[in-house]
Structure 1
Amino acid sequence: MESEHTQNWEELETKKGTIAILNDPQVQIPDANSFLELLFSAAQDTIVLSKLNFPDSFYELKTGIAGEILQKLSNYKRRMIVLGDFSGIESKSLNDFLYECNKNGKIVFTDRLENAIDLLKEIH
């Protein structure tokens, strides 16, 4: 799977380091194992994905998919930005989850790359 995804990454130098941006909205990440394969196909420690790369079940916290993926990021000391419109979310638990992620700064959910880079924190 690595060779399949490698050509889809674009690297961008930022004030918080080089990030890898996935330029393929068709890529779907159905589970933590698929995410891990994609994560390791990027040459950088910080990846940028689209909200659309994740299935709806990712955003339903009770499925556990988001938790598993965030655990992989923590275990391997990586950061992730998810770009998309999160303003219309009605679920309090999902809003709280996104708020805490953004506050922590290792995983950031926002609509603009510039905002996300400002929210990123160092990996320890």
Structure 2
Amino acid sequence: MEIRTIKENNTEIAVISSSEILITDVQSALDLIATVNYETGCDRMILNKAALCEDFFQLRTKLAGEILQKFINYHMKIAIVGDFSGYTSKSLKDFIYESNKGNDIFFLPGEKEAVEKLSAV
């Protein structure tokens, strides 16, 4: 895992790059939040969707809700970037739509959009 920081509009954002899945359960999400906060001091992060296990995107597992609640509890805003068009679940599409209307959790196509969104909230 590699963590780099971007500064935009006086806001520092951690960008996490990894060739492996980083979040598989609630504990691994907490570990990532703690690592990013400790190493960078950032309270915003960008993470590629490939770093999340596929169960995250199956809402019936409740994993997405449990994990994203930890991000809210620990005041870490997150943008998950990638192509979500391959998911056909209406529930997941609605979940992404509603998340993107908020101020803490975003599902966006790329890093540029994520930086813009996270530096504006």
The answer, yes or no, to whether TM exceeds 0.5 is: yes
- The answer to whether the 8 A contact 1:103-1:119 is kept is no
* 1:15-94 to 2 correspondences below 5 Å: 15=9, 17-42=11-36, 43=40, 44-94=42-92
Per the alignment, residue 100 of structure 2 pairs with 102
Q: Displacement of 1:16 after TM fit?
A: 6.4
Instruction: Report percent identity of matched pairs.
Output: 35
For residue 18 of structure 1, give the secondary structure of its aligned residue in structure 2: strand
TM-score relative to the length of structure 1: 0.85
User: Would you identify which runs of 4 or more consecutive aligned residues in structure 1 move more than 4 Å?
Assistant: none
The alignment covers a number of residue pairs equal to 116
* Structure 2 stretches lacking a partner, 5+ long: none
* Structure 1 stretches lacking a partner, 5+ long: none
For residue 14 of structure 2, give the secondary structure of its aligned residue in structure 1: strand
TM-score relative to the length of structure 2: 0.87
Q: Displacement of 1:28 after TM fit?
A: 2.7
* Higher relative contact order structure (alpha carbons within 8 Å, sequence separation ≥ 6): 2
